[in-house]
Amino acid sequence: MTIKLYDLDSHLRRFEARVLSCESSGDRWRVLLDQTAFFPEGGGQAADPGTLGGAEVLDVQEEPEGIAHYLDNPLTAGETVIGEIHWPVRFRRMQNHSGEHILSGLAHRLYGYENVGFHLGEDVVTIDLSGELTWPQLLELERLANEAVWKNVPIRAEYPDPEVLKDLEYRSKLELTENVRIVTVEGYDVCACCAPHVSFTGEIGAIKILDMMRHRGGVRFTVICGTDAQRDYAKRSEQVKTLSNLLSVPRDDVVQAVEKLKAEKEQLERTVAQRDQKLCDMRLRNLRQTEGNLCIVDEFENPIAMRELVNAGMALCGGVCAAFSGDDQNGYRYIIGSKTVDLRSEAKFINAALKGKGGGQPTMIQGSCTASRAEIEAYFMEKNKE
């Protein structure tokens, strides 16, 4: 079996190994080594990226014959190659994984909850606990986890003897009696785990819980640690700085400033809606009974106001009631209604005259046109004279 160098030294980035076999596997090459520092996918963590003998390591899987490395180029069996782990990715994963153990260990000790789901994603880590916690309880968990970081306690990975293992209290307890890898965060957690971890909690850096949701009778929360937390803090800090400049208030006051802005916007919207209604009422009052056409060109607030006006106008005129909204520069949208004229067949003449397009029912059509206000008004006035 492949010797797992990452078990002996989680900080090993570069190693030498002998190629035991290399065979093609689809469009990739499957390589077995005598030893490897590449962590294979497992326990919620993806396989380590990196290079092996100059070839790209695309995937690493633990298989019955040993740890299989899937490469983009072949290697030669028997040769000795250099393997290099893509360290920033691996270290980020170790920071997050070790941070997860501390949080899960604390949740277990304080509330008796089990970790029932763990996913180490590209941006964040998600943790599922078997019982519910409130947001303040999670924040307290976060505070205690950060305390564990400041204490800089050691993290050990070892395979205890069956005798020791039998009586050992640990999370994720397995049926197995030997070859169980136990990861201990001194004073905080003991858990069965196959992944590489940092050596001291200080390496984790900040631990930050971002949010939570209820999930299957428990909670699911997202966490970022170390480099992820630092990057996130830098981003949030820039965002608050920009907001503070935009709002012209100190950084600590941005929330109140946005709340005030929101209240002002709602007040303005109410005022505008009242004015719109007054305008609608005024337009309706101005409609006059006529045997001919009615034509109203205006800047309407919305299509509903336009349609209401056309409905009212249709009842008052003998021809068509046409409402146009817009201006000469950007063109107009129209709604035209009639009780006497078949607008579906009239539409092509209207569109031809006003450089427009649109259609609809015999009693109402809608569309848009690029004719000027003067041309629009002239068209419907001319019709009145016919």
Nearer to Zn ion, 96 or 368 (CB): 96
Q: How far is the CB of 56 from Zn ion (least distance, A)?
A: 27
Interacting residues with Zn ion (CB under 5 A): 193
CB-based burial label for 45 (10 Å; 0-12, 13-18, 19+): buried
Nearer to Zn ion, 119 or 373 (CB): 119
Nearer to Zn ion, 155 or 364 (CB): 155
* C-beta nearest to Zn ion: residue: 193
Nearer to Zn ion, 2 or 45 (CB): 45
Separation CA 303–CA 305 (nearest Å): 5
Separation CA 377–CA 323 (nearest Å): 10
Q: Is 18 in contact with 5 (CB distance < 8 Å)?
A: no
Q: What is the DSSP letter of 77?
A: T
179 backbone dihedrals φ, ψ, rounded to 5°: 60, 30
Q: How far is the CB of 107 from Zn ion (least distance, A)?
A: 14
Q: How far is the CB of 42 from Zn ion (least distance, A)?
A: 10
Nearer to Zn ion, 200 or 341 (CB): 200
Nearer to Zn ion, 31 or 102 (CB): 102
Tokens 């277990």 -> residue: 108
Q: How far is the CB of 101 from Zn ion (least distance, A)?
A: 6
Q: Is 75 in contact with 29 (CB distance < 8 Å)?
A: yes
Nearer to Zn ion, 31 or 193 (CB): 193
Q: How far is the CB of 222 from Zn ion (least distance, A)?
A: 17
126 bridge partner residues:
119, 222
Q: Is 78 in contact with 18 (CB distance < 8 Å)?
A: yes
Q: What is the DSSP letter of 373?
A: H
Q: How far is the CB of 18 from Zn ion (least distance, A)?
A: 30
Question: Tokens at residue 182, please?
Answer: 């136990």
Among 256, 155, 258, which residue's Cα sits nearest to residue 197? 155
Q: How far is the CB of 195 from Zn ion (least distance, A)?
A: 5
336 bridge partner residues:
322, 365
